[in-house]
Amino acid sequence: MKIVVLTGSPHRKGTSALLADNFIAGAEAAGHQVYRFDAAFKQIHACTACGTCKRTDTGCVFKDDEQELYPHVLAADAIVFISPVYFYSMSAQIKLAIDRLYAIDDALHGAKQCALLVTCEDDTLGATDGAVAIIKGMAAFFGWKLHGIITALACGNRAAIEKTSYPQDVFTLGKNF
């Protein structure tokens, strides 16, 4: 299985990075091919809804780092979204990359799987509702199987998340994909 891991944290050694690393380790242990795209470290222009991608055969008008993501997403059997939740939704960095999938959305309908892994300093499940709603909506729209959602609550820093079962939980999710 080909899996794209799309991350949205600007912290290379943060809580989301730990989840990404552990998910990838589990997925690779199961024999899956994984491509990781760290949106926070890429140059991605915000979608402006110009419509060029729909009106022409030239694709997205912005020829930035998102272009390297498109072929991997199109070829993937699964997409795993990993993001911190700072204020009731995914990070702006991952949201830029997700919004730009609009340019290829016609080709994304069908038999893919997806999952969401989020970290959050808050300890209330409602704090992650925005991120969960985005992925559930995408899965429903595209007809994707939602393979899992892990919300790592009360994990505002690396030390906090390392004391939980979340790193093992995402490893297991990756292995069982």
pLDDT digits (tens, 9 = 90+) for 4-50: 999 999 999 999 999 999 999 999 999 999 999 999 999 999 999 99
- Distance between CA atoms of 168 and 130, rounded to whole angstroms? 24
> Could you tell me how far CA 59 lies from the centroid of its own chain?
22
Q: 125 pLDDT band (50/70/90 cuts)?
A: confident
Domain ranges for the chain: 2-175
Look at residue 84 and tell me whether its pLDDT is greater than 90: yes
Asked whether the beta carbons of 118 and 85 are under 8 A apart, the reply is yes
Q: Which residues 6+ apart lie within 8 Å of 7 measured at CB?
A: 16, 17, 20, 36, 37, 38, 39, 40, 82, 83, 94
Lowest mean pLDDT segment, chosen from 56-60, 78-82, 132-136: 56-60
Between CA 88 and CA 174, with CA 105 as vertex, the angle to 5 degrees is 60
Average predicted confidence (pLDDT) for the chain: 97
C-alpha to C-alpha distances, 84 to 15, 91, 168, nearest whole angstrom: 8, 6, 18
- Go through the chain and tell me how many residues it has: 177
Mention every residue, 6+ apart, whose C-beta is less than 8 A from residue 43. 64, 65
How much is the pTM? 0.97
29-51: buried (b, 16+ CB within 10 Å) or exposed (e) per residue?
eeebebbbbbbbeeebeebeeee
- pLDDT at residue 103, rounded to an integer: 96
Tell me the fold of 2-175. Answer: Rossmann fold (3.40.50)
Instruction: Please name which of 175, 2, 169, 176 lies closest in space to residue 78, comparing C-alpha atoms.
Output: 2
